């Protein structure tokens, strides 16, 4: 009775701990089921398939084989009897996809950051409207949006008609089936994934910090570089990852806007399952290699986040 408060506090803590401990398994079960069923199982299946023997025209034979990884990394010439050397074919496909995803990410960041900043600095009542406007186009299926873009930029499409009509150009621009078109498609597809996380970060930014910096004679640029960017960095990194990773495996934009002239990682994998190459272990191996790459990226991100928090 003398000191009820100090004793009850740790007690209640202990009891709630116990409550959670007894309920831990049922509480975690849904999460584990989701992770197990939708993540671990498919990835494990893919990992296993990548080490199996290819059955002609799709399917696998349940015999261990390294042929898929061998095909990816080792070149023995068309007839398979030349001395082994490093295979550049698939590495160059990865290089092209990575370069493309990086460009798309940069473009999205250049447009996405100011956009997010603009929205976050509006009056709270109108922010919702701006966010709503950003998401409206994404109610439409990605395939349909990509095809529509095709219609817009084709040689006798509305964009060229408008430019020709205004006298800005004399000849229609050849936009379709170019890298520019692919970039445009990726940029358009993934822009909100950049805007939304950055917006979330900027919205929480305390603007009095900028005022304080200005009071201390920091230029706008210095304020942005030393105050704003470090604070909203997690949002920027999250946005970059959300754009970069899906761009890496994208095949709708390269196929429909770029003319499908060169394999991207996505179309290379698709071809192994849905088309004539029909090599499932190889498709699985390419997916595994792609996933390992992405995983390394995510680990680097997690580490930089941990370091930032430690500071």
Partner 1 sequence: MNRLISTTSALCLMAGAASAEGTLSVYHWFEYIPQELVDKFTAETGITVTIDTYDSNESMLASLKAGKLGQYDVAVPADFMVEIMAETGMLDTFTAEEMPNLPNIAPQWLDVPFDPGRKSSIPYQWGSTSFAVNRGVYTGDISSLGIIFDPPEELRGKINVLDSQNEVLILGSLYLGVPQCSTDRTQLKALSDMLVAAKQHWASFGSDTAKDVMVSGDAAAGMIYNGFSAKARAEGANVEYSYPKEGHVLWMDNVVLLKDAPNRANAITFMNFLLEPENAAAVTNYAAYTSGVSGVEPFLDEAIRTSPENNPPAGAAPGVFAQVCDEDTQKLYDAIWINLKK
Residues that bind partner 1 (CB under 8 A): 56-59, 78-79, 89-90, 92-93, 151, 154-156, 174, 176-177, 255-256, 259-263, 273-279
What secondary structure does DSSP assign to 131-180, as a single string? HHHHHGGGGS-HHHHHHHHHHHHSTTSHHHHHHHHTTS-SS----TTSHH
C-beta closer to partner 1: residue 93 or 243: 93
Smallest distance, partner 1 to C-beta of residue 210, A: 49
Pair 186, 100: CB distance under 8 Å:
yes
Residue 276's CB is within 10 A of a number of other CB atoms, namely: 9
Least gap, CB of 46 to partner 1 (angstroms): 13
CB of 293 to partner 1, least distance (A): 19
Cβ-contact 143, 257 below 8 angstroms = no
Nearer to partner 1 by C-beta: 203 or 270? 270
Q: Among residues 155 and 203, whose Cβ is nearest to partner 1?
A: 155
177's CB contacts (< 8 A; 6+ apart) are 257, 258, 259, 261
CA distance 285 to 308: 35
Nearest to 65 by CA among 75, 55, 57, 53: 53
User: Least CB distance from residue 93 to partner 1, whole Å?
Assistant: 6
Nearer to partner 1, 117 or 273 (CB): 273
Task: Give the nearest distance from C-beta 137 to partner 1 in angstroms.
Answer: 23
Q: Which residue, 71 or 189, is less far from partner 1 as judged by CB?
A: 71
Token digits for 116? 């997010």
């Amino acid at each position: 009775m003398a000191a009820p408060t100090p004793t009850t506090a740790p007690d209640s803590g202990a009891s709630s701990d116990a409550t959670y401990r007894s309920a831990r398994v049922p509480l975690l079960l849904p999460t584990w089921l989701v992770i197990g069923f939708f993540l671990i199982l498919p990835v494990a299946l893919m990992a296993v398939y990548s080490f199996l023997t290819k059955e002609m025209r799709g399917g696998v034979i349940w015999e261990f084989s390294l042929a898929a990884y061998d095909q990816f990394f080792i070149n023995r010439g068309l007839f398979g009897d030349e001395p082994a050397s490093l295979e550049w074919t698939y590495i160059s496909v990865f290089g092209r996809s990575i370069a493309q995803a990086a460009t798309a990410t940069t473009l999205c960041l250049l447009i996405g950051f100011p956009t997010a900043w603009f929205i976050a600095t509006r009056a709270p009542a109108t922010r919702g409207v701006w966010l709503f406007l950003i998401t409206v186009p994404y109610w439409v299926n990605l395939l349909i949006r990509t095809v529509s873009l095709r219609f817009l930029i084709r040689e006798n499409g509305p964009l060229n008609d408008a430019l020709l009509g205004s006298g800005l150009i004399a000849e229609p621009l050849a936009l379709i089936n170019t890298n520019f078109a692919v970039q445009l498609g990726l940029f358009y597809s993934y822009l909100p994934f950049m805007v939304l996380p950055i917006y979330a970060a900027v919205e929480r930014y305390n603007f009095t910090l900028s005022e304080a910096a200005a009071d201390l004679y920091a230029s706008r640029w210095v304020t942005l570089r030393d105050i704003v960017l470090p604070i909203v960095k997690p949002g920027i990194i999250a946005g970059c990852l959300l754009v970069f990773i899906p761009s890496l495996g994208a095949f709708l934009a390269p196929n429909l806007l770029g003319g499908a002239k060169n394999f991207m990682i996505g179309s290379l994998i698709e071809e192994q399952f849905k088309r004539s190459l029909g090599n499932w272990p190889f498709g699985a191996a390419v997916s595994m290699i792609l996933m390992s790459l992405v995983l390394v990226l995510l680990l680097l991100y997690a580490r930089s986040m941990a370091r930032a928090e430690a500071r």
